[in-house]
Amino acid sequence: MSALLKMGKRQLFLMSSSAVHGYEYLQHAEKDISAYFKKNNVSKVLFIPYALSNHAGYTEKVGTVLKRWGFDCEGIHTHNNPVQAVREAQAIYIGGGNTFLLLKSLYDNGLVEPIRDRVLIEAVPYVGSSAGTNVATRSIHTTNDMPIVYPPTFDALGLVPFNINPHYLDPDVSGTHKGETRQERIEQFHELNEAPVLGLREGSTLLLDGDNAKLIGTSSARLFRPQKDPEEFESGADLSFLLAGN
């Protein structure tokens, strides 16, 4: 995490999900992603599809949408040297899927430090969705995914000093399910960990510009911190306080 000590003006676009009810794939974030890329002079995106096994199909799915919006897209799997691809990328987009598979693949390909350096030192724009948002945080401890493979560590990219829970679901008070709620699982995390956890509901995105963080999108978010009641934040809220001391 030494890169955190010499941080540049990071640019992060962290989505809860690419698919939201009532919208076509990525449509809920079309205006915000397009504005984000244009602001950062991005014309070509490096897509990292490691969270799913069908790299070509996944890249085509995302690339079709981005190209319709006016941005070129290439999959990192098409490069013989993925580290060099990261070093040359205008923007990095990591898609969703299985977080454990994704993080293991990033470590196996030697990409954790190169991505961290490019984002934190060189301010290369980063887009994450679901698992891609999970790996942008301190660790993947608060993912919803099953551990289908074993990454060498749960430590992630560390682009922000807190954790995120994508696809956050509120308890269904009228339902019959009596298992643990998402809130209870996050509270269990806080029995052993101090990092705040931002629960991003579907349609919500955390947008970072340097040390400024703002909640955008079509939904709200819920923040969990140890020994404190959960806090609700609506779209448009300033969440820069989560970056304090980073």
Q: Which tokens hold the place of 167?
A: 């696809």
The answer to whether 46 touches 74, Cβ cutoff 8 Å, is yes
At 94, which helix (H) or strand (E)?
strand 92-94
- Rounded CA gap, 230 and 74, in Å? 40
Q: Where are the beta strands (DSSP E) in 99-145?
A: 126-129
**CA-atom Rg of the chain in angstroms:** 17
Burial grade of 133 (CB within 10 A; 0-12, 13-18, 19 or more) = buried
Q: Which tokens hold the place of 139?
A: 């660790």
Type of residue numbered 30: E
135-148 burial, b if ≥16 CB within 10 A, otherwise e? Answer: bbbbbbbbbebeee
Count CA atoms closer than 13 A to 140's CA, side-chain side. 28
The residues assigned a catalytic role are 130, 145, 167
